[in-house]
Amino acid sequence: MVGSGVAGLTTAIALQRAGWQVHVLTAAPIETLTSHLAAAVWFPTHAGPPEAVTRWGAHTFDVLAGLAEQPGSGVVMRESLALYRSAPSVPAWATAVRELRPATAQELPSGYAYGLRFQVPLVEMPIHLPWLVDLFSASGGRLRFVRIAALDEVIDDGWSEVVVNCTGLAARELAQDRSVYAVRGQIVRVTNPGLTLSMRDEQHPSGRAYIHPRTADCILGGTLDEHRWDTDVDLAEADSILARCREIEPRLYQADVLEHIVGLRPARPTVRVEESVTGPGRARLLHNYGHGGSGITLGWGCARDVVALATLVS
């Protein structure tokens, strides 16, 4: 396996549960990965194709809801409110969420006429990723820090039977897949002034707005900048994020800014979960990358499909 982000670790654990012995290679420590900085709330965003996203998302929702019962996993079920400027239709993700209802007028911030209430898993990645690594290691998994220059290094290592490519944005080079591109995301981490409700307005005229309260802080977002590869903090954008989130939740005026964060979502027109033919005498090569803004939302569903592919012919 190559990659120890959310795609790599969920796949590694799913393969272990199916009886495989798994080694994971990673070029960088988990606290430096895109997966570590994600908001990270279950909510299909910027990923396709739609039918598979619905199926992967529904399975992941169920797994994460189960993990929310386990102390120390970093997963909680978070009461949520999606805000709309016109009457919303039933979203495609409603089937996974199951209990979805229109918000009452009392539940809406001023200026809003429509909203949907539901509960989704919120994953605190700085807690959850190390927890996944421990789970993987406890089942005999090995995590090694190696930067490979080409997937052939692992395909031809003489040891691997199957290689799973979970390298996110790096798949653009490693799998020579020019359809992989960055969708830059800028967010602001602030102190939590006592919030427990997650809120989002994806149609805010100044840009997307979302507020995700965590145990010790609160994530405010954020941008979704297509084909932007720079990771410099844009302070004007940060001010705009703060302004639109405070407009929705005025208690955020009391919050202190802790950190500005910029990450690059590994996007692709559709998530790639499939096999590439490598030829006789070589390891098989499976891919699991291109999750865009939904790596946490789709992780366990895609991992399940990788296990099915791995088991299919071997």
Ligand X SMILES: Cc1cc2nc3c(=O)[nH]c(=O)nc-3n(C[C@H](O)[C@H](O)[C@H](O)COP(=O)(O)OP(=O)(O)OC[C@H]3O[C@@H](n4cnc5c(N)ncnc54)[C@H](O)[C@@H]3O)c2cc1C
What Å distances lie between residue 248 and 118, 240, 273, 307, CA to CA? 18, 13, 38, 42
- Site for ligand X (CB under 6 A): which residue of 1, 14, 15, 34? 34
- Site for ligand X (CB under 6 A): which residue of 1, 3, 83, 199? 3
Binding range to ligand X, per CB under 6 A, among 39-47, 79-87, 110-118, 227-235: 39-47
Nearer to ligand X, 4 or 80 (CB): 4
Q: In which element (H, E) is residue 136 found?
A: helix 125-138
Nearer to ligand X, 51 or 281 (CB): 51
How far apart (Å, rounded) are the C-alpha atoms in residues 85 and 83?
7
Shortest reach from residue 113's CB to ligand X, in Å: 26
What HEC string does 196-260 produce? CCEEEECCCCCCCEEEEECCCCEEEECCCEECCCCCCCCHHHHHHHHHHHHHHCHHHHHCCEEEE
Told to check if 75 binds ligand X by CB under 6 A, we report: no
Nearer to ligand X, 26 or 310 (CB): 26
Told to check if 148 binds ligand X by CB under 6 A, we report: yes
Q: What are phi and psi of 145, to 5 degrees?
A: -90, 105
Told to check if 26 binds ligand X by CB under 6 A, we report: yes
Of 292, 281, 283, 265, whose CA–CA distance to 2 is shortest?
283
State the binding string over 215-254 for ligand X (x if CB under 6 A, else -): -------x--------------------------------
Binding range to ligand X, per CB under 6 A, among 19-27, 73-81, 95-103, 225-233: 19-27
State the binding string over 104-123 for ligand X (x if CB under 6 A, else -): --------------------
User: What one-character DSSP code corresponds to residue 2?
Assistant: B
Told to check if 211 binds ligand X by CB under 6 A, we report: no
- Site for ligand X (CB under 6 A): which residue of 214, 287, 291, 304? 291
Of 61, 90, 95, whose CA–CA distance to 78 is shortest?
61
- Site for ligand X (CB under 6 A): which residue of 56, 266, 268, 310? 266
Of 162, 167, 166, whose CA–CA distance to 20 is shortest?
162
What Å distances lie between residue 148 and 24, 25, 27, 176, 237, CA to CA? 12, 9, 7, 14, 35
Q: What are phi and psi of 20, to 5 degrees?
A: -85, 150
Told to check if 82 binds ligand X by CB under 6 A, we report: no
Told to check if 150 binds ligand X by CB under 6 A, we report: no
Q: Which residues contact ligand X by CB under 6 A? A: 2-8, 25-28, 33-35, 38-41, 43, 147-148, 166-168, 170, 174, 185, 187, 222, 263, 265-266, 289, 291-297
